[in-house]
Homo-oligomer: A and B are copies of this chain.
Amino acid sequence: MATSVLLVALLLAALASAYPMDSTQIWPAPQTLQTGASMLQVDQYSLNVIPPPNSTSDIIEDAIARFAENSFPFNPSIYKGRRREKPRSFAATLNTVTISVVDDSEVLQFGVDESYTLSVPVGDTAVLKANTVWGVLHGLETLSQIILWDPEDLGYYITGAPLSISDAPRFPWRGLMIDTARHYLSVATIYRTLDAMAYNKFNTLHWHMVDAESFPVSLPSFPQLAQAGSYSPDATYNLTDLQDIQQYALYRGIRVVPEFDVPGHSASWGLAFNNLTVYCAEYEANVNNIPFDPTNSFTYQVLAGILNDVTSVFPDNYFHCGGDEVVLGCWSDNTTVTNWMSSHGISTTTALEGYFEKQLHGIVSSHSRTMIVWQEIFQNGNVPTGDTVVEVWQSGDVLQQVINSGYQGILAAPYYLDKQSPIGVSHYEWIDTWQDFYTSDPLTGLTGRTDLVLGGEGCMWAEQVDSVNFDSRVWPRAAGIAERLWSAASVNDVTTAIPRLVSFRCRLAQRGIGAGPIAPDYCPLPPENQFMNYK
């Protein structure tokens, strides 16, 4: 009966989509991918990944160890499966992966070469080549994604050999912003997030460390800030935590860009030092409205101390100074502030913000860091220097103004992970917001100096996210952002992306990331990754 044949085909297609049955299902899509028609066997116990002979990079050594874990989530000896009736026929067995690297420097800064090439011929040896350690990491991630698990043969294999990949990112700034002030995120959650970011080839963790609601960072210069401003002693990062996170990120090719969001959103600072912040009756109902007191010299002493501590841990050339949603009216409301303004010849609160930014720039530049600010500082005409980078969060239109003015820009506006309808499109299913991210190109509609657009950032504001539900809010949705920022602009078709993303989210779950499904399917999880709420 025709019915059954067609239905079986339909259903099996649906079933098959649950498994990464095809080695071309790489996320984010590489720039070029050439494939053949042969299948290779991969034995998880004998595959030998050889570090570059001219390198002693610990980061590469560590990445090779992780490669094995990530590529082989199933241990056949404890996994129960069905035997395929007709065994697969393999053209060869992949036994060896050789790696070469031109420069094994372990310094990671913005704009570093992240390119790599990967060749998997019909034979026993694959070849990974990169100019830098960071290209090697990306190449190993790609290689792990072309290795497929066969639940019927209880083994691993590769399709489409010979495979040849040449890859490099479209944008050099591919960030994910986390917010540890609205909710504390455990160090383990941040580690897990860095793992997931590496799987997505994100290269920048933008860490919005403090905000109005809490000050969770305990720093040597002013430990009182966390003592008074954190939710709990158990909800605090100390200097060792920051160092561990920096190291963990570095080993995954991820820069950590710390943010201290000033002069707005500063209420938590005021818990330790009353005179750091300004009181304004009209705005008190929302704790986010409380700004710094920019007229108090102690404010700048505290900022200098914090900057000194934080830059000692994070070597990144950039420092994010926030600057969003400064409630200037709160300053107008306070007579101490307005009196100071009069005596210093500052006639508007906008100009007072400019004064603050100049002082702040002095501190930041004394540590040889480049400032990043949220878009309002630009819109208020208060960007202190031409090298300051402007992050656009409210509307893509502002990005045009930013580059028109000759500033470098980062786009966050269409990539807000706390929104259900990021670009005004309403989806029945909430997970489908990945499509909105995916179809938002940073350069769409822009003219002129588009070379000033460094890239983009997904932002996970944490009012309704903590360690419990972080994974399932962020993944696989942020994967839409990851591919938009890495892959070619032309790789933007949602329908084509779906089967790859179905496979990729299953890989994420198999590796212990709490990424839920985007479509009906079955994603087998290895027993050791069936944690309580994964069971």
Contact = CB atoms under 8 A, between A and B. Distances in A.
Interface stretch (A197-205, A394-402, A462-470): A462-470
A3 B429 contact: no
A418 interface: yes
A214 B6 CA distance: 16
Q: Chain A interface secondary structure, helix, strand, loop or mixed?
A: loop
Nearest to A522: B231
A514 interface: yes
Contacts of A494: none
B290 A7 contact: yes
Nearest to A466: B517
Nearest to A231: B522
A192 interface: yes
Contacts of A275: 1
A534 interface: yes
Interface in A72-113: 80-82
A273 to B, nearest CB: 9
Interface in A238-289: 267-268, 270-271, 274-275, 277-279, 284, 287
Interface in A1-51: 1-4, 6-8, 10-11, 14-15, 18
Given A271-B8, A284-B10, A420-B420, A534 B183 contact: no
A297 to B, nearest CB: 17
A270 B235 CA distance: 54
A533 B471 contact: yes
Nearest to A432: B464
A184 interface: yes
Contact of A464 (B8, B192, B519, B533): B519
Given A10-B284, A271-B7, A277-B3, A418 B426 contact: no
A509 interface: yes
A232 B472 CA distance: 24
A427 B426 CA distance: 11
A340 interface: no
Interface in A490-535: 509, 512-525, 530-535
A221 interface: no
Contacts of A522: 183-184, 214, 231-232, 235
Given A183-B522, A533-B533, A517 B464 contact: yes
B468 A268 contact: no
Contact of A420 (B7, B15, B428): B428
Given A7-B290, A151-B232, A468-B515, A426 B429 contact: no
A334 to B, nearest CB: 9
A182 interface: yes
Contacts of A431: 464
A19 B518 CA distance: 34
A465 B188 CA distance: 24
A534 B419 CA distance: 23
Nearest to A13: B287
Interface in A381-398: none
A438 to B, nearest CB: 16
Given A277-B3, A279-B3, A279-B6, A466 B429 contact: no
A533 B429 contact: no
A473 interface: yes
Contact of A514 (B6, B469, B519): B469
Interface string A186-221: 101100100000000000000000000110000000
Contacts of A470: 533
B4 A274 contact: yes
B468 A472 contact: yes
Contact of A430 (B81, B274, B420, B513): B420
A370 interface: no
A414 B531 CA distance: 32
A421 interface: yes
Contacts of A287: 7, 10-11, 14
Given A6-B284, A11-B271, A279-B3, A430 B430 contact: yes
B278 A3 contact: yes
9 contacts: A3-B277, A10-B267, A10-B287, A11-B213, A151-B232, A188-B532, A418-B428, A420-B421, A462-B520
